[in-house]
Structure formats: C-alpha cells, structure tokens
Amino acid sequence: DKGEYRHYMLKEIHEQPRVIKATMEGRVTATKVLEQALGTEAGNLLQDVRHVQIIACGTSYHAGMVARYWIEDLAGVPCSVEVASEFRYRNHVIQKDTLFLCISQSGETADTLAALRQAKKAGFRAALAICNVPGSTLVRESDLVIMTQAGPEIGVASTKAFTTQLTALLLFTLALARKNGLSEEREAEIVKALHLVPGQVNDVLALDGEIAEMSMRFMDKNHALFLGRGSQYPVAMEGALKLKEISYIHAEAYPAGELKHGPLALVDSEMPVVTVAPNNHMAEKLKSNLEEVRARGGELFVFADRAANIKPEDNIHVIQLPEVHEITAPIVYTVPLQLLSYHVAVLKGTDVDQPRNLAKSVTVE
Ligand code: F6R
C-alpha cells in the first residue's frame, strides 16, 4: 500500500529514517556494537580474517564499494569488491583466511549466488551475507547473516535497501575493526554518529521542495555527470544509477580526480554535473575539481554541508545538507540523490516504480 505517497519509491525513500534505526536496533548500545548480535559464531569467525572479498550487483555493489573504504580505514583489513557477474567468470585467488561477503537485497540474484558457490569450492574462512529477505537462498547458504530491516522493497529502483545495507556494513566493519585494534574511543565516536543518522536523513527529506525545484533543470537534458571523492565516489555511482534507471537520462559517475583524464572534454552547458561534497578531508581538492567544471561553462549542482564552504554563484547551485560525521556521510548523502532522480522521473512522466526493461529480482543470468 502506497498510503499517502504517489509512488512506492517515494514511500520507501521516506521510510529510511525508521528502517535505518530498525537495522541498528538490538545490535548497538549508545557507544558500541554488540558483536554477538551479528550471530553467536561471529566472534569466532571474524577472529582471524585477513582479507574481505565483497561480491554483489547493481546498487548492492555500490554499498560494497562504500564498505571497502570503511573496512580498510577502520579495520585495516584489505578488501576487494567485484560485481558478481565478472567474478564468477574469471579465475581468482581466494586465500583461506578470507571473509567472503555477499550483499543482496533479494538474496536470490543468480550471479551473486553463483559467485558464492564457486568461491566455496576454492575455500575461505566464512561466508557473510547482508540481505533483506529472511529465508532467501543467500541467507540459507551463508555462515553468518546480518539482516537489513528495510521491510519489503516494492519499487524496482533500490533505495531503503541500500541505506540499510550501508548501516549493516558499518556495524560489521566496527565488529571486525575491534579485533584489529580500533580504539574504544573511535568506536564510540562512530556509533554515536550512526545514532544521529536517522535524524539527519529526516532533515534531508525536508529539503524535498528545494530538490524538486532543482530537478527541473534536468528534465530536458540527455546526459549528466556525478562526481564524488573517497567514500562519496560510490554514492555518486549510486546517484547516477538511480537517474539512469528511472528517468532514462544517461548518467555517469567519476571520482572527481579523474575529471581531467578524460570526462572534462564532455563538459558544456548541456552536461549538468552533480557533486556530493561533505566537509571531509577531500573537500578542498574537490573544490578545485568544481572550478575546472565551471571554467568550461558547466552547470554544477552541489550537495554539501555548510563547513565545506561552497558558495552558490552563477551556474553553481548549492543545496546545504546537515553536518555529518565523515564515516556516516555516504548514508546521508545518498538520500538527496534519490530524491533528485525521483523528481526528474516524475517530471518526465516515466514509470517510476516499474522502469522499462528492469525486474526487481534478477534470478536469471
Ligand atoms: C538498482 C537495483 C539493482 C539491484 C541488483 C542487485 O536500483 O535495484 O541494481 O541492486 O539487481 O539486486 P540484489 O540486491 O537483490 O542482489
């Protein structure tokens, strides 16, 4: 039931504060992650993990890309991320102390399941699933499971599944990091920041009107670029995927530092450039990337917090986001991009909940 909402996608975007909270519930105190909440075997299985191999498709793959930044930064454990459809068809090396982590909303994605089964033959320490559907094949075939509590996701374009995956991945990262020397203080700082996320997402949802207005500048465009740096690069990828899926506008994401290595040639007034720029240690570098775009007549749409100090000017539209911790920023910054693509699609009159050619669950190759 869509309730008061015009589309399932919009309803699901608005459910995020609640389902992010539900995904944390019973798994964290005010200051730390309860390891046993990740499964009675978790302590044991995470003990000697020396490498994490993440496998997923589509939006779930983007969640894995964000997690890689967290796992290497906080746990200091090397992490690789690959789309399942590639992984399953190449020869790979899996060390026995590897944690094999599959991320899937449905738990039925054929490529992801095939990758897991193949990796099992090669041997690894344990298989962890981050999944939204209890009793799914992925859940049944994994040693450890962290369920996301997003509830059924009806819209084909994934929204609340993604932000709850990120929440679960951050909890997992902290549990792994504790075994690898993360201090109690740092853990407490991040858990406290995570507790603030549902409220911050609510604040972003309140920007809906501003974002809807911005969306009008996209409806007659054929292409868009999305830029981010660090853990916001996968957020940009997810933003580009959402726009492609539901508005049929071609969109590409780039890590902003790659601009001058090619895509800058595309920039002109017909190529809107969307940027996610929280106030992290890359903000200064990002600003010079933005200058490169502006100097070529590109129109910029920036989501940033006040401290990033990016001023609106001709051709620079800025929507100010709440101040967020650098680690939790990818969760919060995803939301305005979901709203942007939603509004562009509504303006274009496409079928938001059932985009052409796509199925909710990809159970065939
Ligand atoms: C995008 C989308 C898809 C899925 C992908 C994986 O909005 O929904 O890209 O993320 O098909 O699906 P799951 O997570 O069910 O394995």
Going by CA atoms, what residue is nearest to atom 16 of ligand 1? 104
Going from the Cα of 349 to the center of ligand 1, the distance in angstroms, rounded, reads: 23
List pLDDT tens digits, range 330-352.
999 999 999 999 999 999 999 88
Which CA distances in Å does 82 have to 144, 311, 334? 20, 37, 21
Share of the chain above pLDDT 90, in %: 76
- Residues marked as catalytic: 360
All residues at 6 or more sequence positions from 136 whose CB lies less than 8 Å from its CB, including other chains: 104, 106, 107, 108
Structure pTM?
0.97
- One-letter amino acid at 13 equals I
ipTM score of the complex? 0.99
Q: What residues form DSSP beta bridges with 100?
A: 53, 127
Q: Indicate if ligand 1 lies below 6 Å from the C-beta of 165.
A: no
Q: Give the span between the Cα atoms of 92 and 339, in whole angstroms.
A: 38
Which atom of ligand 1 is found nearest the CA of 161? 14
Looking at residue 361, what is its pLDDT?
Answer: 83
pLDDT > 90? residue 360: no
**Does the Cβ of 112 fall within 6 Å of ligand 1?**
yes
Ligand 1 mean position, distance from CA 121 (Å): 25
Q: Tokens at residue 11, please?
A: 């309803």
Q: What is the pLDDT of residue 138?
A: 98
Radius of gyration, CA atoms only, the chain: 20
> What DSSP letter does each residue of 130-178 carry, written as one string?
EESSTT-HHHHT-SEEEE-------SSS-SHHHHHHHHHHHHHHHHHHH
The answer, yes or no, to whether residue 282 has pLDDT greater than 90, is no
- Asked if residue 341 has its Cβ within 6 Å of ligand 1, the reply is no
User: Best of 9, 60, 148, 364 to mutate for ligand 1, by most ligand atoms within 8 A of CB?
Assistant: 60
- In 10 A of CB 361, how many CB atoms? 15
Is residue 338 lining ligand 1, measured as CB closer than 6 Å? no
* Mean pLDDT, residues 282-311: 84
Ligand 1 pocket check for 264: Cβ under 6 Å: no
What whole-number distance in Å separates Cα of residue 135 and Cα of residue 150? 15
| pLDDT range class, residue 192, cuts 50, 70, 90 | very high
Pocket test for ligand 1, best of 109, 154, 166 (most atoms within 8 A of CB): 109
Quick: pLDDT tens for 193-220: 999 999 999 999 999 999 999 999 999 9
- What is d(CA 122, CA 166) in angstroms, rounded to the nearest whole number? 28
